[in-house]
Structures are given as C-alpha cells and as structure tokens.
Structure 1
Amino acid sequence: MSFSKVIEYKSIKIVYTNIVGTAGSEAVPTFDKVQKLVAEFPDHSVLSCVNATNARFNTELLSKIKETVKKNNPKAKATVVCGLNKLSSLILNSIIAATGRQMKLFDTEEEGFEWLYEYEMKTTGVVG
C-alpha cells in the first residue's frame, strides 16, 4: 500500500512518498496527499524522496505525477526518486524535462536520503 508522510532523517525533514510495488492508478491518491502535505511548507523548503521500487506506471498515474510536480514546484528545494528501472527512469526524465523540476535519481532510498541530507547541509551553510 502506498503512502506519504513527513519523516526525519539525521535532523532534516523529508516528505517521503512510498509507492513501492504499486500498479498504476493505485498510487494516485498518494500523490493527492503529497500535494496537501507539501502545501503546508514555505516556498523553496521541501526536501522530498519518492521510493518507486517495482512500481508500475500507467497514463493516469503519470498524469497525476506531472500535476503534482508542477503544483509542488514553488515549494520544492530538492527531490530524489529511488528504485526506478531503466524504462521508468526514461519516463521520469521526460517528466523532469517537461516540468523544469530538479530531481536526482538513485538506486536506493538510503542513497537518496543521504544526498538530501548533504544537499541541505551545503545549502544552509551547516558543515555536515
């Protein structure tokens, strides 16, 4: 079952979205929740991680992801997406190009969390 919530990793807050193993439309309500969560944050402050390991995408889900990325752009500081296969990575890269959103792709959630932590430390001037 997919979900989204705010988690803490090494003292930073991350909007964490887990769509592991979902099939297409199953994850759509989770991205509605992501939009509501992110709306509560100040502009340019949200660190987010999406774990999409073994997720399957369909037209409805891709449309919802594009909508979410565009809507959340003003709030976003950095986003990582983890666990995509080669085809899903190509699809996400097309979304990134269409929306202008800066995102990094990682194989594992841990790599993504660590990159977000290091990015936050660099951008806030805190030595990590």
Structure 2
Amino acid sequence: MAAIQFIRHRNLLICYTDLSGAKTDEVVGICRQSRRLMRDVPENSVYSLINIQDTQFNVEYLPIIQETLRANRPFVRASALIGLDGLTTTLTQVITVFSGRDVRVFKELAPAKEWLREKAGMMPALPSVPVFISPVPAIHPGLFVTKA
C-alpha cells in the first residue's frame, strides 16, 4: 500500500514515499498528499527517499508526477530513489542532470539513507567490519626497574 511519512534514520528526518507495488490511483493520491505535506515545511529542508519498486507506471499519470516534482522542488534538498531497473536508472540519471535536482538512484534502502545523511552534512556510517580487541598481555614483573 502506497504511503508517505516522515521517518528518522540516525537522527536525520527523511520524507519516505513508499510507492512500491502501487497502482495508478494510489500514485496519484500520494502525489497530491505530497504536495500538501510540502507546503508545511521550510524551503530546502527535506531529504526525500522514494521507493518505486514494482510500481506500475502509466503515461496517464506522468503529468501529475511532473507537476508534483515541480511543486515540491523548492522544499527538497536531496532525493534518493530505489527500485529502478537498469534502463530506467540511466534515464532517471540523465533527466536529473538536466533538471538540476540532486537525485541519486540506489538498489537498496540502507545505502540510500546513508547518502541522504551525507548530503545533510552528517558523518557517514563507519564500515561494518568486525573489530577484534586483543587482551592486554600480562606485564612481566622483570620489565620494570625500581629504585630502592
């Protein structure tokens, strides 16, 4: 079910638009809801994450999506998209270059959230590598010289 909501990821507030598996009427409803939501936030303050995996794209609602992107542009600082296939990803990247919007396409949710954190000027996550802490070796008493 399509939804739009604010989520928090490591202290960053993200506007998460979940259109995964959405039908045409759901996409239209979310676009309208998104425009209403953006009217209540300061300009250039929103970090947007949009999931369009398995969304049924239809030419009939393309103008509504374009109008939503235009209306929301002043409020969105950076956007991350997930759920695109190879050709759609390439086309999206070309379109964003010409539109001047800061949009990046990702395959998975976690890297998209981290990129938005970086765009917000927050420190990136440390890599997930195991940290091995070796025990401190016992100090041999003969290593210290004491004066009597």
TM range (shorter): 0.7 to 0.9
Indicate how the Cα distance of structure 1 residues 77 and 71 shifts in structure 2: closer, same or farther if over 3 A, else same. Answer: same
Q: Map residues 110-121 of structure 1 onto 2, 5 A cutoff.
A: 110-120=110-120
Structure 1, 91-100 or 66-75: larger mean CA deviation:
91-100
1:66-102 superposed Cα distances (whole Å, 9 cap, x missing partner): 1111101111100111111124335534653564322
Instruction: Give how far 1:9 is off.
Output: 0.9
Structure of greater Rg: 2
Structure 1, 59-68 or 3-12: larger mean CA deviation:
59-68
Give the whole-Å Cα distance in 1 for the aligned partners of 2:62 and 2:56: 10
Indicate how the Cα distance of structure 1 residues 119 and 94 shifts in structure 2: closer, same or farther if over 3 A, else same. Answer: closer
Equivalent position of 1:12 in the other structure? 12
Instruction: Provide the identity percentage.
Output: 28
Indicate how the Cα distance of structure 1 residues 68 and 91 shifts in structure 2: closer, same or farther if over 3 A, else same. Answer: farther
Q: Map residues 12-91 of structure 1 onto 2, 5 A cutoff.
A: 12-90=12-90
Equivalent position of 2:128 in the other structure? none
Gap runs ≥5 in structure 1: none
Structure 1, 36-45 or 82-91: larger mean CA deviation:
82-91
Indicate how the Cα distance of structure 1 residues 2 and 15 shifts in structure 2: closer, same or farther if over 3 A, else same. Answer: same
Q: Is contact 2:81-2:105 (8 Å) kept?
A: yes
Q: After TM superposition, which residue ranges in structure 1, 4 or more long, deviate above 4 angstroms? A: none
Which residue type is aligned with residue 29 of structure 2?
A: P
Q: Quick check: which one's helix share is greater?
A: 1
Give the whole-Å Cα distance in 2 for the aligned partners of 1:89 and 1:24: 20
Q: Map residues 87-106 of structure 1 onto 2, 5 A cutoff.
A: 87-90=87-90, 92-93=92-93, 95-96=95-96, 99-106=99-106
Give the whole-Å Cα distance in 2 for the aligned partners of 1:87 and 1:56: 16
Give the whole-Å Cα distance in 2 for the aligned partners of 1:78 and 1:41: 14
Give the whole-Å Cα distance in 2 for the aligned partners of 1:127 and 1:81: 21
Structure 1, 2-11 or 80-89: larger mean CA deviation:
80-89
Q: Is contact 1:47-1:79 (8 Å) kept?
A: yes
Give the whole-Å Cα distance in 2 for the aligned partners of 1:92 and 1:56: 16
Which residue type is aligned with residue 112 of structure 1?
A: A
Gap runs ≥5 in structure 2: 125-148
Which residue type is aligned with residue 88 of structure 2?
A: S
Which residue type is aligned with residue 62 of structure 2?
A: L
- RMSD of the TM alignment (CA)? 1.9
**Number of residues paired by the alignment?**
124
